[in-house]
Structure 1
């Protein structure tokens, strides 16, 4: 891999961010500083930490940033569930985006384990 842009997890999570921004555009305006902002921030955190970790000196540091990405992903899954429960996301949109997060979750866990096993 030459750059973090070559990492498939980064690519998938960047697509997720775009989808998140599109869907949250339809949330109530009074949520702009609440749930909308929180969902957007943790979605942005996922590819950002993959990229930041890539630029670090060691696998140990890289793992730390990948784990932060995973934590942000779990936070995002929780907030999406809340958005569905209060009917900001319908079932179809929720299922679509939740499946995207589950795919990224599996990829991140696998990547983390691969790096751990090479140490």
Structure 2
């Protein structure tokens, strides 16, 4: 399995890029770094997990990706409430993170059942 061919990896990488671009002007470095790191962690852990040998390891890294996605979604909610993030963009990101979470759960289940 090649991670570059997975829609969940492509979409999460695109989300990470969007987060980086959209938060570039946020002056709160701590917030910006936390959000970009959690967003970057998702496709990175998908890639690392898919390249692991055992299904148990693959599943563990997909689980880490899901957790990072939940972290990013939490930060998106907070960033919106405190006025750091555009409401429309945030709503799109929330939808995307929920869809990605479902895709990751499906991939994890595939590895768990192998």
TM-score bucket of the superposed structures, by smaller chain: over 0.9
Q: CA deviation at 1:25?
A: 1.4
Structure 2 CA distance for aligned equivalents of residues 17 and 90 of structure 1:
16
TM-score in terms of structure 1 length: 0.91
Structure 2 CA distance for aligned equivalents of residues 112 and 96 of structure 1:
24
Q: CA deviation at 1:17?
A: 0.6
1:113 maps to 2:112: no
Residue 66 of structure 1: aligned partner: 62
- In the alignment, which of 82, 85, 88 is matched to residue 84 of structure 2? 88
1:13 maps to 2:30: no
CA RMSD of aligned residues (A): 1.0
Structure 1 CA distance for aligned equivalents of residues 98 and 54 of structure 2:
27
Mark the runs of 5 or more structure 2 residues left unpaired by the alignment.
none
Q: CA deviation at 1:88?
A: 0.8
TM-score in terms of structure 2 length: 0.94
SS state of the match for residue 87, structure 1?
Answer: coil
Q: Deviations over 1:99-119 (max 9, x none)?
A: 11111111001111122122x
**Runs of 4+ in structure 1 displaced over 3 angstroms?**
none
Residue 75 of structure 1: aligned partner: 71
1:37 maps to 2:33: yes
SS state of the match for residue 5, structure 1?
Answer: helix
Structure 1 CA distance for aligned equivalents of residues 52 and 107 of structure 2:
16
